[in-house]
A and B are shown apart, each in its own frame.
Chain A
Amino acid sequence: MNLDFTPQQLQFREQVRDWLQAHKPSEPRPEDGAEGRAFDLAWQKTLYTGGWAGINWPKAYGGQGFDTFQQLIFLMEYAKSGAPGDHYRFNGLNLAGPTIIACGDEEQKKTHLPPILKGDVIWCQGFSEPSAGSDLASLKTRAIVDGDELIVTGSKIWTSWARFADWQQLLVRTDPDAPKHAGISWVINRMDNPGMEIRPIHDMAGGSDLHEVFYDEVRIPLRNIVGGINNGWRVSMAQLSFERGTAFMPSQIETQKTIEELIELARNTRLDDGRLAIDDDHIAFQLAKLRAETRSLLAMTLLGISRNERSGMPGPEGSMLKLFQSELYKRITTVALDIVGADRARLSGLTGRWPQAFLGSFANTLGGGTSEVMRNIIGERYLGLPK
């Protein structure tokens, strides 16, 4: 049981710190989608040129091949430095790229991996469907083999940043007669493919990063199937093999920043009765509790990484962290509303970020698996309770 880093690791940390300090963008990321895309790609290019792109990707594919602790240190320093989040780069770097590394053939790797690291392309995901949400394996988007192509017809939903993406990791049903997990294929699809229609979804927090995507006899070359036909379910799990438990580190540090900013806000905000918010017992205890929970999020992340390092397998902590962190974030934004009081009604001004965060927080316990699905996974896979 120790929290020590080796002298080499500490030296590495200095190196990361110095580089980020010198190179991180000084201007904030633009809110506009097209400008945001340009910003994300430019930053990815800078990371690539600096030798920091693809920290968990193998060297053979242009990544850095950092060990678990280098990844951990890099991600901690990255988040602390205030460098831009993954945003539109997320899918390519964390999902599609690792999946192609794990299951793609040589041609697919050569074609698709370098552009992700060099900041040339944005990827998105086409998994969920209107009737296949938590029950993802029941997806219906049909793909029929026609010569050396698939003809895809159906629809996808909740695709983040689809209209700003170049490529898509798409799950389709290639065998409707097989058991539901067995008839799915994972394919690479171009977002400008004829027969596709992309419609933004306007969400309750005012954003429109989510989309519906419709496919009307869209043709995809068979060579774009990754990991073999009807093997898509297994392929979609493959990116997990790159996960060392470090994935939660950036959002853990973001959560810590947020709760500390909220405590600071409470020290400077007056309630209706003229007292400072921090002097209200109810608010104070809630803030302290959130601070304690955020602290345990760090400890949980470190324990998860340690476990992973010993067993080489992603453990149950992924689902636990996802559940814990997303529910925690929701509680943080709710307490924020208590602190800003009537100012919660204003989305503009100095305190506007808090009601805005509250509105956005609902996505956290839905996207990437709902809290209910996480509880099922913990109950069934970790505790061994029957389905």
Chain B
Amino acid sequence: MDLLPTQEQQQIIDTAASFLANEFPINQLLGAPNSDTRVSREHLQKIAQLGWLGIGLPEELQGVGYGLSEEVLLFVELGRNLMPPSLLGSVLGGRLTGLSGEHDRMRSLLDGDIKVALAISLPGSETKIGESISGEFLIYEPHEADLLLVADEGGAALLPLKSVQTTEDDRCIDETLGVSSAIAKNVPVLCYLPAENDNLFLRGTILVSAMLLGIAEATLARSVDYAKQREQFGKVIGSFQAIKHYCAEMAVRCESVRSMLYHTSITFQAQSPAGVFDACSLKALAIEAAQYNANTAIQIHGGMGFTREMDIHLFVKRAQALGTLFGGERYHLRRLLCEPVVD
């Protein structure tokens, strides 16, 4: 038993962190209209060359051959750097096509030639996801996207974005992401993978939780740095218990979610009965941690935190957006309560 990353896994973290810090510094997002300009098709191909999009796919499917544990480590770094959720679309799309035997399309997805937007079911929509889909959806990052990925507990489907009727662009709470809504009535899909073959909904749940942990950790780190520099009443504010205790609460949330993320990546990959229990627990905790930490970071940064000059607000907004993907807090809590006890 060793829950910590191995040396090889640590290398994945370090490589991802330094690549992202160099290629996609977060200050690019300050004043940028949306993510489509930040991760262009060329960028996506460059990311694909690192093997990231197929990191968790078995080698026989032309993936890198790692498992979910390595995948979550990468997604923590993507979340920390506010990389767009369409990267998750590519990863899940690659898996979906690979496991459905659509090898050509999978290759294009893993090479970054195709961009996959994620869509969620809108409140009140009567959604059906299967060989065809119906319902009202909110699409994140519709611009330049080729395909749309939708998933629920029953399964996951991939379809051409063009095949659904999209409305005009909405404004997203996270201004770095575009959104539009779409209505689908019995639109046939390119491929559909039932959850009993591979549960992409819960895999997405776990990977979004990883991104949320990235946000929780990034906002903790920024808050601690700021609290060590900013002076008031002749002292750095980090010496005041009011600030120190906020930071401690944020740190505990990071520790709790990181532990659960590692644990879940193992139990889910092993298809143990604890996998679903863990995934639902993880998502609820990750949403709470990301939102608590990002929101508290604004308070710690004071008036400056409320400005667009600093990047904290981007994390607050991203935490809200990510929380909607693959089931919100209430969804997963309700589901968790229905699960049998695990050891």
* Chain A residues within 8 Å of B, Cβ to Cβ: 1-5, 69, 72, 260, 263, 278, 284-285, 287-289, 291-293, 295-300, 302-303, 305-307, 309-310, 317, 320, 323-324, 372, 374-376, 378-380, 382-387
A376 and B333 contact, CB distance less than 8 A: no
A384 and B224 contact, CB distance less than 8 A: yes
Is B132 engaged at the interface, CB distance under 8 Å to the other chain?
A: no
Q: What are 12 A-B pairs with beta-carbon distances under 8 A?
A: A1-B69, A3-B1, A292-B282, A295-B260, A299-B256, A299-B259, A302-B1, A376-B244, A383-B244, A383-B251, A385-B224, A385-B247
Is B258 engaged at the interface, CB distance under 8 Å to the other chain?
A: yes
Q: CB-CB < 8 A to A376: which residues of B?
A: 241, 244-245, 248
13 new A-B contacts at CB < 8 Å, known A300-B255, A303-B255, A385-B247: A1-B3, A1-B69, A2-B1, A3-B263, A278-B337, A295-B277, A296-B256, A302-B3, A302-B263, A303-B3, A376-B244, A378-B247, A379-B244
Bound-state Cα–Cα, A288 to B248, Å: 24
Q: CB-CB < 8 A to B47: which residues of A?
A: none
Say yes or no: A375-B248 contact (C-beta < 8 A), given A1-B266, A288-B334, A298-B263: yes
Bound-state Cα–Cα, A331 to B277, Å: 21
A302 and B259 contact, CB distance less than 8 A: yes
Q: CB-CB < 8 A to A320: which residues of B?
A: 251-252, 255
Say yes or no: A299-B239 contact (C-beta < 8 A), given A292-B333, A383-B251, A385-B224: no
Is B9 engaged at the interface, CB distance under 8 Å to the other chain?
A: yes
Bound-state Cα–Cα, A72 to B280, Å: 26
Q: CB-CB < 8 A to B260: which residues of A?
A: 295-296, 299
B239 and A386 contact, CB distance less than 8 A: yes
Is B228 engaged at the interface, CB distance under 8 Å to the other chain?
A: yes
Residue ID in chain B nearest A310 by CB atoms: B4
Report the interface size class on chain B.
35 or more
Residue ID in chain A nearest B278 by CB atoms: A295
B3 and A299 contact, CB distance less than 8 A: yes
Is B267 engaged at the interface, CB distance under 8 Å to the other chain?
A: yes
Q: CB-CB < 8 A to B336: which residues of A?
A: 288, 291-292
B252 and A323 contact, CB distance less than 8 A: yes
**Closest Cβ of chain A: how far from B184's Cβ, in Å?**
30
Q: Mark B305-343, 1 if CB is under 8 A from A, else 0.
A: 000000000000000000000000010011011000100
Q: CB-CB < 8 A to A310: which residues of B?
A: 2, 4
Q: CB-CB < 8 A to B1: which residues of A?
A: 2-5, 69, 72, 302, 305-306
- Pick the 6 closest A-B CB pairs, nearest first: A292-B281, A379-B244, A299-B259, A288-B333, A375-B248, A299-B263
Bound-state Cα–Cα, A26 to B256, Å: 36
B333 and A378 contact, CB distance less than 8 A: no
Is B285 engaged at the interface, CB distance under 8 Å to the other chain?
A: yes
* Chain B residues within 8 Å of A, Cβ to Cβ: 1-6, 9, 69, 224, 227-228, 235-236, 238-239, 241, 243-245, 247-249, 251-252, 255-260, 262-263, 265-267, 277-278, 280-282, 284-285, 330, 333-334, 336-337, 341
Say yes or no: A292-B285 contact (C-beta < 8 A), given A374-B248, A383-B247, A384-B228: yes
**Closest Cβ of chain B: how far from A211's Cβ, in Å?**
31
B252 and A324 contact, CB distance less than 8 A: yes
Say yes or no: A1-B224 contact (C-beta < 8 A), given A298-B263, A375-B244, A385-B239: no
**Closest Cβ of chain B: how far from A148's Cβ, in Å?**
45
B249 and A375 contact, CB distance less than 8 A: yes
A385 and B337 contact, CB distance less than 8 A: no
Task: Indicate which residue in B239, B266, B285, B333 contacts A3 across the interface (CB closer than 8 Å).
Answer: B266
B337 and A284 contact, CB distance less than 8 A: yes
**Closest Cβ of chain B: how far from A178's Cβ, in Å?**
26
Q: CB-CB < 8 A to B252: which residues of A?
A: 320, 323-324, 378
Q: CB-CB < 8 A to B337: which residues of A?
A: 263, 278, 284, 287-288, 291
Say yes or no: A303-B259 contact (C-beta < 8 A), given A5-B1, A323-B252: yes
Q: CB-CB < 8 A to A382: which residues of B?
A: 251
Residue ID in chain B nearest A301 by CB atoms: B259
A295 and B255 contact, CB distance less than 8 A: no
Bound-state Cα–Cα, A1 to B277, Å: 19
Bound-state Cα–Cα, A150 to B239, Å: 40
Q: CB-CB < 8 A to A72: which residues of B?
A: 1
Residue ID in chain A nearest B238 by CB atoms: A385
Task: Indicate which residue in A295, A297, A303, A386 contacts B258 across the interface (CB closer than 8 Å).
Answer: A303
Q: CB-CB < 8 A to B249: which residues of A?
A: 375
**Closest Cβ of chain A: how far from B227's Cβ, in Å?**
6
Q: CB-CB < 8 A to A379: which residues of B?
A: 238, 241, 244-245, 247-248
Bound-state Cα–Cα, A69 to B243, Å: 38
B281 and A296 contact, CB distance less than 8 A: yes
**Closest Cβ of chain A: how far from B267's Cβ, in Å?**
7
Residue ID in chain A nearest B224 by CB atoms: A383
B333 and A2 contact, CB distance less than 8 A: no
A309 and B2 contact, CB distance less than 8 A: yes
Bound-state Cα–Cα, A172 to B311, Å: 52
Q: CB-CB < 8 A to A378: which residues of B?
A: 247-248, 251-252
Q: CB-CB < 8 A to B258: which residues of A?
A: 303
**Closest Cβ of chain B: how far from A253's Cβ, in Å?**
10
Residue ID in chain B nearest A295 by CB atoms: B281
Bound-state Cα–Cα, A372 to B249, Å: 11
Residue ID in chain A nearest B68 by CB atoms: A1
Task: Name, among B6, B243, B256, B330, the residue most crowded by chain A CB atoms within 10 Å (CB to CB).
Answer: B256
Q: CB-CB < 8 A to B9: which residues of A?
A: 1
